């Protein structure tokens, strides 16, 4: 029972990070029909920005500011770096290709992902960095959850992600900009004719998606300690799986998919073997796609004849 | 009805005047392109094969290996071109078939199994098995189109790598059977051998060839046959049906084409070619390792197809040559430096296009360099005392650009970020503002190059690939030799 | 003799919206008894089939936008499956067949939204459509066997002859031009040529005159007549231009909200009060 709960908490932690990342994939796909393969790299840069801020503030063991302020500043740094990269990607790698064939932006995204990874290798080298979180937030801090105790950092990650997701959901469904986002994702041309500034909406989507990815990056650094220049690839692939699983383009779908992938991974690692973690996750995706080609909560695309 | 009765069917002045309106090639590449257009496909191939056949005699022995890499990339990219360029199926799992062929050959031609298969039996079986695997994997993907197909196939590729890495730990596999060698791969793969003739020595017909030549010519022969076969296939009912399917699947289906069978066939043909190339790769490298078949390799294949021109056979071959050869140049600092500065000059000409502005830019960069050096050396003398790359070009520049003795990594990182920002500004700016942004950007680029990139060929290569893909898509999405495509969304 | 195409009380609804309702239609057979009451009793509308057969027949389907005309085409060619009713080709049901199978039975169509293969040359567009009537396999093509060469020559000749049907418009240098370089009207012509290359008996044209100027419209009207007279196709046409409909039709069917509201000669249908009402609204019928 304890083990089961422990794995559930692990899965939820991992899953909420995946969900944050998946949201970025899903929103961009919903609005541009573009698989933003560089999203994982945006997340990786967010993690490094958070680490950079931590270093500037003296490092985990010798902080010059209170812990809460350090955390806030780290997240802010990550949000800034990630959204700057995300918006630059949109402006320079994707916007020139809006009118071109379907494959062009996909290749551009792969190229951008490659470029960003190499840039990270150049700037941060191949060495991994560690956040030393236990020095920041004691490992025995936390809240009781049945027979186990959940580390404060995990609580922070899970709660923050859920709050962010709820906020995003409300924003998309309740605000004027959110409505514009939905309108553009439904029919870009019609939305433009109704006076919606499509370019602006797309920038906003990239901004929010990338900011969420940056937050996810810092969270992963805090929970799992290590960050490295190719961390974006695997995480991006998993988040992407989550987005597809839930139904790419669907915001609740991305959340659901993220949590499912996180839990599936945690239980596979816990009960079977970490060797098969990826195999099972990808297998799960393929099975779901075979049964529901547009994902769990996605809507099938209509073709006009 | 206002139509006059004398209007016959299909009288069209536009058609009659067509000759006068024909557009010729323009620009400085026009003569080469006119010549290229004049050649028949057969003579193009002959010229290419002749040039390729003399290559081993023109270079040093180890450089022949680069030639083999190029030819192999051309082969596997041609297979990818069938699936992506012709049938329009976005297959991101293609690299798995390449890996499958390579591992298959490695297993039957090494000490992994007690039995060694003769090459002439192994090769047809590998090609057939890869094609079958391609057809099988396309079955579940039949209902998926476009991006979803890409997603599904991407996961097949990931699963392949996972399987190969963890083969011996899979359920139902006996402990002592480790077919794939796990993360260590399979070393010691035997060379091709046709009835006693081994493709690894240097003697041929009594003469001595440069090292690796036998493998080189083996791959070249396969590539030549492949080009002929694919050229014939492209101009056949199957080839046309594939392209029709790419253009408009629904319309193709209404025009008597069995869409599902054609998709399956495209996957199978592509996979078969990948399997063959993989087997050749295994014998040339004398071994296979999981990392030979990861996503990076897939991206190189895509880069070759796209850079050269998706759908065009000469384009894809040219793309493979460019993609495989340029990184090799980067390994040698002298050539790399030359490549970098020639590249900068080309970018400058394409971007600016006016002599006065080009002169202003070059002058500006030169002056900026002197000014920065003057002040920097007064404030912090370690900024000019750094280790200089040992090429004549770099030594020449040593008196101009900064060369840091300490803190090199940190400073170049910041300079790199600033240079990227500069590039983005250059793209956005117009007129003289473009020049104003270009001058510091170029200076920073040279600074980063001389201090860091020239020592890091593999990072440079990756940066270059990424940038080439992005820029290519924005500037010339049809590739070097491809034809422009339109698409209705 | 059996009619080429026969629909029996065909119905199709999308998400609760009835698009085609109890539709009967016969193409390629003789005269059809027009039903006086459009809503009730269509079951008998096509009962009388044993009239003398004309070699080819041109039937026009008219109706206001959203009447279900294109849906009718999509049902016949196998894109949609009907909810109820039957579609017979030469007396055999073709329900459940894929578009490819239907086209191999001799039904070819054009598209209202123009779906030429944009990045293939004009000639290749037509050659591609010969797929179903040719046999050479992949290996035959790869090795260019004598039979493959022969067949390739046949396909090429076929394409040229189909393209020559439109006079000079799609000839000469245009053969090697990509289809996207063609004008709207020429793309319509190319679609017809492409449909002809599938060797059909029934040709279904979805708004062939849309986007054409009066001279071109006149030309396409003559062409459709020639397609029947010279080649012998039975033709089903959706068209909005009444001059075209008048010029070509042996018989006209009017649809409104998926229901057949009139059928008969052009004059009969054009003066039918139900049709006028459908186009102009209730009350308009009396004013003409």
> Tokens 């290359």, residue?
C197
Kindly indicate whether the domain formed by B41-330 is annotated with CATH number 1.20.1550: no
Q: Kindly list the structural domains of chain C, giving each domain's residue range(s) and its CATH number in brackets, ordered by start.
A: 5-115+195-287 (3.40.50.300), 117-181 (no CATH)
* Percent of chain A's residues with pLDDT above 70: 98
Residue C150 in 3-state DSSP? helix
CB burial readout A250-260, b (16+ within 10 A) else e: bbebbbbbbbb
What pLDDT, in 10s, does the model give residues C160-199?
Answer: 999 998 887 888 888 888 898 888 888 999 999 999 999 9
Alpha carbons within 13 A on the beta-carbon side of A291 = 9
C127/B487 Cβ within 8 A: no
Determine contact: A107 vs chain B, CB below 8 A. yes
Choice between B28 and A24, residue whose per-residue pLDDT is larger? A24
Residue A182 in 3-state DSSP? helix
- C-alpha of A112 from chain center: 17
d(CA B167, nearest CA chain A) in Å: 10
Q: In which band, very low, low, confident or very high, does the pLDDT at C49 lie, cut at 50, 70 and 90?
A: very low
Chain C residues within an 8 Å CB radius of A100: none
d(CA B272, nearest CA chain A) in Å: 23
Residue A17 has pLDDT above 80, yes or no: yes
Chain A residues within an 8 Å CB radius of C111: 305
Residues 202-241 of C with CB under 8 A from B: 214-215, 217-219, 222-223
From first to last of its 489 residues, what are the pLDDT tens digits of chain B?
334 444 445 555 555 555 555 555 666 667 777 777 788 888 889 999 999 988 888 887 678 888 999 999 999 999 999 999 999 888 889 999 999 999 999 999 888 777 788 888 999 999 999 999 999 988 876 777 667 788 788 888 888 888 888 877 766 667 667 778 888 888 888 888 776 667 766 666 666 666 777 888 889 999 999 999 999 999 999 999 999 999 988 999 999 999 999 999 999 999 999 999 999 999 888 889 988 898 889 988 988 998 888 889 999 999 999 888 887 887 777 888 888 888 888 888 888 878 888 898 899 999 998 888 888 888 887 777 777 766 767 777 777 888 777 777 888 888 899 999 999 998 888 888 888 899 999 999 988 888 888 788 888 888 888 888 888 888 887 777 777 666 654
Q: Which residue of A has its CA nearest to C112?
A: A305
Residue C11: strand pairing partners? C84
In this complex, the residue of A104, A122, A237 whose CB is nearest that of residue B477 is A104
User: Among C249, C250, C271, C274, which residue's Cα sits nearest to residue C260?
Assistant: C274
Question: Rounded to whole angstroms, how far apart are CA atoms C46 and C5?
Answer: 12
β-strand C202-206 against A129-130: which pairing, if any? unpaired
Determine contact: B202 vs chain C, CB below 8 A. no
| First CA to last CA distance, chain C | 40
Chain B residues within an 8 Å CB radius of A290: 140
C100/B1 Cβ within 8 A: no
d(CA A227, nearest CA chain B) in Å: 18
Backbone angles phi, psi at A304, to 5 degrees: -90, 130
Contact yes or no for B401/B369 (Cβ under 8 A): yes
Q: Interface partners of B (3+ CB pairs, < 8 Å)?
A: A, C
Q: Between A and B, how many residue pairs show a Cβ–Cβ distance under 8 A?
A: 135
d(CA B38, nearest CA chain A) in Å: 29
Q: Which residue of A has its CA nearest to B167?
A: A275
Choice between C282 and A88, residue whose per-residue pLDDT is larger? A88
Question: Rounded to whole angstroms, how far apart are CA atoms C183 and B439?
Answer: 47
pLDDT at C144 (0 to 100): 92
d(CA A140, nearest CA chain B) in Å: 36
- ipTM comes to 0.86
d(CA A104, nearest CA chain C) in Å: 16
Residue B198 in 3-state DSSP? strand
Q: Which residue of A has its CA nearest to C71?
A: A305
CB burial readout A186-201, b (16+ within 10 A) else e: eebeebeeeebebeeb
Determine contact: B265 vs chain C, CB below 8 A. yes
Determine contact: B232 vs chain C, CB below 8 A. yes
The DSSP symbol for A60 reads T
Residues 80-99 of C with CB under 8 A from B: 98-99
Angle at B228 between CA B226 and CA B234, to 5 degrees: 95
| First CA to last CA distance, chain A | 55
Which of A47-51, A73-77, B26-30, B332-336 is the least confident region?
A: B26-30
What pLDDT, in 10s, does the model give residues A143-186?
Answer: 887 788 888 889 999 999 999 999 999 999 899 999 999 999 88
B424/A88 Cβ within 8 A: yes
Q: Helix, strand, coil shares of chain A as percentages rounded to 5?
A: 75, 5, 20
Residues 231-290 of A with CB under 8 A from B: 233, 237, 240-241, 244, 248, 273, 275-276, 278-279, 282-283, 285-286, 289-290
The DSSP symbol for C256 reads E
Q: Which residue of A has its CA nearest to C113?
A: A305
Number of Cβ atoms within 10 Å of the Cβ of A87: 16
pLDDT at C45 (0 to 100): 28
Angle at C93 between CA C90 and CA C99, to 5 degrees: 95
Chain C residues within an 8 Å CB radius of A305: 70, 74, 79, 111, 113
Q: How far is CA B113 from CA A265, B121, B196, B292, C261, in A?
A: 35, 16, 21, 21, 76
Residue A150: strand pairing partners? A143
Chain B residues within an 8 Å CB radius of C204: none
pLDDT at C46 (0 to 100): 30
Instruction: Give which of B166, B470, B483 to mutate to test A binding, by max A Cβ within 10 Å.
Output: B470
Residue A79 has pLDDT above 90, yes or no: yes
d(CA C89, nearest CA chain B) in Å: 16
Residue-range domain boundaries for chain B: 41-330, 335-455
Helix ranges (H only) for B235-294 are: 237-247, 249-254, 259-285
d(CA A304, nearest CA chain C) in Å: 9
Backbone angles phi, psi at C171, to 5 degrees: -110, 180
Contact yes or no for A51/A129 (Cβ under 8 A): yes
What pLDDT, in 10s, does the model give residues A234-282?
Answer: 888 888 888 888 888 888 899 999 999 999 989 988 888 777 777 888 8
């Amino acid at each position: 029972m304890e083990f089961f709960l422990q794995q559930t908490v692990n899965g939820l932690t991992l899953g909420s990070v995946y969900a944050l990342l998946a949201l970025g994939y899903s929103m961009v796909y919903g609005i541009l029909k573009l698989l933003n393969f560089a999203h994982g790299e945006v997340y990786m840069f967010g993690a490094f920005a958070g680490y950079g801020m931590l270093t500037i503030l003296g490092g985990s063991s010798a902080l010059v500011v209170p812990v809460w302020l350090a955390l806030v500043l780290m997240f802010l740094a990550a949000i800034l770096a990630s959204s700057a990269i995300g918006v630059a990607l949109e402006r320079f790698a994707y916007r020139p290709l809006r009118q071109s064939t379907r494959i062009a932006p996909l290749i551009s995204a792969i190229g951008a992902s490659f470029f960003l990874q190499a840039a990270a290798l150049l700037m941060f080298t191949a060495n991994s960095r560690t956040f030393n979180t236990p020095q920041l937030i004691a490992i025995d801090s936390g809240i009781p959850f049945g027979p186990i105790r959940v580390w404060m950092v995990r609580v922070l990650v899970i709660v923050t992600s859920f709050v962010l997701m709820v906020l995003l959901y409300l924003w998309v469904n309740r605000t004027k900009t959110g409505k514009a986002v939905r309108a553009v994702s439904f029919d870009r041309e019609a939305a433009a004719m109704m006076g919606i500034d499509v370019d602006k909406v797309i920038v906003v989507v990239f901004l929010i998606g990338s900011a969420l990815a940056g937050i996810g990056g810092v969270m992963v650094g805090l929970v799992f300690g290590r960050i490295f220049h190719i961390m974006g690839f695997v995480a991006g692939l998993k988040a992407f799986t989550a987005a597809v699983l839930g139904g790419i383009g669907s915001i609740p779908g991305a959340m659901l998919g993220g949590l499912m992938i996180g839990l599936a991974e945690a239980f596979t690692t816990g009960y079977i073997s970490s060797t098969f973690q990826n195999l099972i996750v990808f297998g799960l995706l393929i099975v779901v796609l075979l049964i529901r080609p547009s994902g769990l909560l996605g809507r099938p695309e209509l073709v006009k004849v | 009805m206002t139509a006059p009765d004398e209007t016959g069917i299909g009288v069209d002045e536009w058609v009659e005047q067509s000759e006068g309106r024909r557009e010729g090639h323009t620009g400085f590449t026009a003569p080469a392109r006119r010549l290229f257009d004049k050649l028949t496909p057969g003579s193009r191939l002959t010229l290419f094969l002749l040039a390729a056949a003399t290559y081993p005699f023109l270079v040093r022995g180890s450089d022949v290996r680069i030639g083999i890499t190029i030819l192999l990339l051309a082969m596997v990219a041609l297979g990818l071109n069938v699936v992506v360029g012709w049938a329009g199926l976005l297959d991101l799992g293609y690299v798995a078939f390449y890996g499958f062929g390579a591992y298959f050959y490695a297993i039957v031609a090494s000490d992994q199994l007690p039995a060694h298969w003769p090459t002439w039996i192994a090769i047809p079986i590998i090609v057939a098995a890869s094609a079958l695997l391609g057809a099988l994997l396309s079955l579940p993907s039949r209902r998926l189109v476009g991006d979803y197909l890409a997603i599904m196939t991407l996961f097949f590729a990931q699963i392949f790598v996972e399987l190969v890495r963890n083969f011996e730990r899979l359920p139902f596999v006996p402990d002592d059977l480790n077919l794939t060698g796990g993360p260590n791969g399979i070393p010691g793969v035997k060379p091709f051998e046709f009835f006693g003739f081994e493709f690894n020595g240097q003697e041929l017909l009594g003469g001595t060839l440069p090292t690796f030549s036998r493998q080189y010519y083996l791959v070249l022969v396969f590539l030549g046959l492949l080009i002929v076969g694919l050229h014939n296939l492209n101009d056949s009912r199957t080839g046309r049906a594939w392209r029709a399917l790419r253009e408009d699947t629904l319309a193709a289906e209404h025009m008597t084409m069995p869409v599902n069978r054609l998709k399956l066939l495209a996957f199978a043909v592509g996979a078969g070619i990948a399997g063959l190339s993989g087997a050749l790769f295994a014998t040339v490298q004398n071994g296979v390792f999981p990392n030979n078949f990861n996503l990076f390799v897939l991206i190189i294949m895509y880069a070759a197809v796209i850079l050269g021109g998706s759908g065009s056979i000469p384009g894809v071959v040219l793309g493979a040559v460019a993609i495989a050869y340029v990184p090799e140049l980067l390994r040698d600092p002298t050539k790399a430096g030359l490549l970098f500065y020639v590249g900068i000059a080309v970018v400058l000409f394409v971007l600016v296009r006016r002599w006065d502005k080009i002169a202003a830019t070059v002058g500006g960069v030169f002056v900026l360099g002197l000014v920065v050096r003057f002040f920097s050396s007064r404030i912090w003398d370690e900024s000019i005392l750094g280790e200089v790359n040992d090429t004549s070009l770099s030594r020449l520049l040593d008196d101009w650009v900064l060369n840091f003795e300490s803190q090199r990594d940190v400073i170049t990182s910041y300079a790199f970020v600033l240079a990227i920002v500069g590039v983005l500004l250059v793209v956005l700016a117009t007129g003289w503002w473009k020049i104003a942004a270009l001058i510091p950007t170029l200076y920073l680029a040279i600074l980063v190059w001389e201090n860091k990139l020239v020592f890091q060929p593999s990072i440079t290569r990756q940066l270059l690939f990424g940038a080439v893909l992005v820029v290519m898509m924005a500037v010339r999405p049809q590739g070097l030799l491809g034809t422009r495509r339109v698409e209705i969304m | 003799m059996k009619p080429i195409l026969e629909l029996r009380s065909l119905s199709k609804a999308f998400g609760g919206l009835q698009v085609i309702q109890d539709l009967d239609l016969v193409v390629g057979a003789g005269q059809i008894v027009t039903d006086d009451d459009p809503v009730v009793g269509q079951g008998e509308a096509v009962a009388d089939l044993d009239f003398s057969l004309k070699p080819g027949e041109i039937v026009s389907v008219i109706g206001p936008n959203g009447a279900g005309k294109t849906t009718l085409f999509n049902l016949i060619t196998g894109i949609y499956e009907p909810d109820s009713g039957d579609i017979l080709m030469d007396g055999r049901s073709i329900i459940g067949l894929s578009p490819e199978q239907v086209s191999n039975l001799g039904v070819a169509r054009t598209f209202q939204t123009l779906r030429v293969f944009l990045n293939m040359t004009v000639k290749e567009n037509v050659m591609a459509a010969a797929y179903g009537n040719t046999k050479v396999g992949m290996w035959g093509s790869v090795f260019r066997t004598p039979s493959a060469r022969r067949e390739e020559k046949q396909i090429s000749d076929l394409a040229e002859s189909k393209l020559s049907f439109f006079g000079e418009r799609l000839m000469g240098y245009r053969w090697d031009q990509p289809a996207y370089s063609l004008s709207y009207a020429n793309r319509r012509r190319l679609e017809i040529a492409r449909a002809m290359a599938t060797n059909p008996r029934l040709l279904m044209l979805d708004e062939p005159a849309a986007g054409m100027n009066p001279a071109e419209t006149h030309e396409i009207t003559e062409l459709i007549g020639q397609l029947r007279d010279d080649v012998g196709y039975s033709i089903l046409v959706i068209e909005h231009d009444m001059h075209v409909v008048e010029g070509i039709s042996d018989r006209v069917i009017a649809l409104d909200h998926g229901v057949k509201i009139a059928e008969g000669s052009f004059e009969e249908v054009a003066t039918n009060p139900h049709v006028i009402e459908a186009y102009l609204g209730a009350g308009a019928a009396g004013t003409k």
